[in-house]
């Protein structure tokens, strides 16, 4: 059993490591996807930019071609003297200002609002022709200007900055989200480690203080036993009553301490040795031990054996805790006379034990929580039933320690049904 507990602990640690690794890999994958998406968005934006520039240049060329004075100046500029560029010779003329106005208007029309430089050049002599990637050339203007290889070129020195600005909000948002997710993961991991250490220290504290309780509880029981045997106490009704109260409360406290110690032993893997037991006989003996108590409450408890398969691999003492806790809960959480029905049956290679009662029941929203340690179903400020909330947690731990399962069905006001599934083993 110790080996099994160690294996379970190793399995849990391995699962935690896998989850952390998967989370980190998911964050890395998210970063890669975001970067890939941003690059793709930038490429799409650049294609859109290029398309808009081509449309704008087509409009610009049409406007320039429709202006005779500009065409004449361009023809004179490039046609005479073999000049390669018109910008130097025309930049101080009115026609060049008109060209600039045409270019700016067309670019604004297509929402291209970034710095630009333009020129009308002879492509045979222009050194930037088909070299600079940030420069755009219009279609040939020879049909307008009656001059071969004359084209308009526009250069955008901050093209990349403009494209980056178009996707800037998305880019910044993506980076912020990735950073926030990563930071949140680190914080969660930090708090997880802190909670784990706190849980461990709390568990150790409870275990230590519980062990410290055992000696005074034993001494109280011994002292009360000695006092109860004295003639003075036997002859005095009140003293005898007080001694019985001390005995009852001492037994109740002892059971609470033993319950906490059982939880500690199971969590730490310090379980007692298991053996092959006849679970049917064991259940019957446990039921018989509760018969008198339940009869005094005008209730009933019945056990129905529906299978000959009864052998399981478990620890007697721990399994007694399982059945006893379920019966105790059926008695404690019943506003009327308790009626408890227990039956065992087999299905496949498993033995099933069903414990059904007529208690107050459990609300649906609490069914998944009742097996958690220290959890008690909320009842407001009134707690008619005392306890630590460790009974069902102990039951679940013991059942799972022998590779079993436990489930519950319940309706408020109707009662609850607990079903234990245990692997069958032969004699």
- In sequence order, what are the beta bridge partners of 312? 277
Query: What confidence score (pLDDT) does residue 131 get?
Result: 40
Query: What confidence score (pLDDT) does residue 354 get?
Result: 94
For the record, the structure tokens of 163 come out as 């494209």
The HSE-up count of residue 256 (CA atoms within 13 Å, CB side) is: 16
The HSE-up count of residue 196 (CA atoms within 13 Å, CB side) is: 8
Contacts 24+ apart (CB under 8 A), 3-8: 4/269, 4/401, 5/266, 5/268, 5/269, 5/270, 5/271, 5/401, 6/269, 8/269
Please report, for residues 36, 161, 167, 177, the alpha-carbon distance to residue 174 in angstroms, rounded to integers and kept in the order given. Answer: 11, 18, 11, 5
Query: What confidence score (pLDDT) does residue 417 get?
Result: 93
Q: Vertex 340, ends 335 and 345: CA angle to 5°?
A: 150
Task: Please answer whether residues 300 and 339 qualify as being in contact, where contact means their C-beta atoms are separated by less than 8 angstroms.
Answer: yes
CB crowding 264-273: b at 16 or more within 10 Å, else e: bbbeebebee
User: What does the alpha-carbon distance between residue 27 and residue 63 come to, in Å, rounded to a whole number?
Assistant: 53
Residues whose CB is less than 8 angstroms from the CB of residue 9 and which lie 6 or more positions away in sequence, other chains included: 269
Query: What confidence score (pLDDT) does residue 266 get?
Result: 65
Query: What is the number of residues in the chain?
Result: 427
- pTM equals 0.49
For the record, the structure tokens of 384 come out as 């008619």
- Residues of the chain below pLDDT 50: 1-10, 129-133, 140, 142, 144, 146, 380-383
User: What does the alpha-carbon distance between residue 361 and residue 364 come to, in Å, rounded to a whole number?
Assistant: 9
């Amino acid at each position: 059993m110790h080996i099994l507990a160690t294996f379970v602990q190793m399995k849990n640690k391995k699962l935690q490591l896998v989850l952390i690794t998967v989370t980190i890999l998911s964050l890395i994958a998210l970063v890669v996807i975001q970067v890939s998406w941003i690059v793709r968005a930038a490429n799409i934006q650049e294609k859109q930019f290029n398309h808009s520039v081509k449309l704008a240049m087509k409009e610009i060329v049409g406007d320039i071609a429709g202006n005779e004075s500009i065409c004449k100046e361009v023809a004179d500029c490039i046609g005479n003297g073999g000049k390669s560029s018109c910008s130097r010779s025309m930049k101080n003329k009115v026609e060049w200002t008109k060209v600039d106005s045409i270019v700016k208007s067309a670019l604004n029309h297509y929402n291209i609002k970034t710095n630009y430089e333009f020129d009308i050049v002879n492509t045979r002599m222009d050194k930037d022709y088909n070299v600079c990637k940030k420069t755009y050339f219009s279609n040939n203007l020879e049909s307008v200007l009656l001059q071969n290889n004359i084209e308009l070129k526009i250069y955008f020195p901050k093209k990349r900055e403009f494209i980056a600005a178009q996707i800037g909000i998305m880019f910044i948002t993506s980076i912020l989200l990735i950073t926030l997710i990563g930071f949140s993961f680190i914080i969660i991991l930090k708090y997880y480690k802190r909670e784990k250490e706190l849980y461990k220290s709390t568990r150790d504290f409870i275990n230590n203080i519980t062990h410290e309780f055992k000696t005074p509880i034993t001494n109280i029981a011994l002292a009360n036993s000695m006092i109860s045997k004295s003639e003075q106490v036997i002859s005095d009704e009140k003293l005898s009553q007080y001694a019985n109260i001390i005995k009852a409360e001492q037994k109740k406290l002892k059971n609470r301490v033993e319950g906490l110690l059982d939880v500690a032993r199971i969590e730490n893997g310090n379980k007692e040795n298991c053996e092959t037991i006849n679970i049917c006989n064991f259940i019957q003996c446990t039921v018989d031990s509760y018969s008198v108590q339940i009869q005094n409450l005008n209730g009933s408890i019945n056990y129905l054996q529906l299978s000959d398969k009864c052998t399981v691999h478990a620890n007697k003492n721990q399994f007694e805790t399982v059945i006893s806790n379920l019966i105790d809960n059926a008695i404690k959480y019943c506003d009327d006379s308790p009626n408890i029905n227990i039956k065992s049956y087999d299905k496949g290679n498993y033995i099933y034990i069903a414990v059904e009662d007529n208690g107050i029941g459990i609300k649906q929203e609490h069914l998944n929580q009742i097996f958690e340690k220290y959890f008690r179903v909320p009842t407001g400020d009134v707690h008619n039933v005392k306890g630590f909330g460790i009974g069902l947690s102990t039951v679940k731990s013991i059942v799972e320690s022998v590779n079993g399962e436990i489930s519950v069905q319940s309706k408020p006001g109707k009662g609850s049904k607990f079903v234990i599934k245990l692997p069958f083993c032969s004699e």
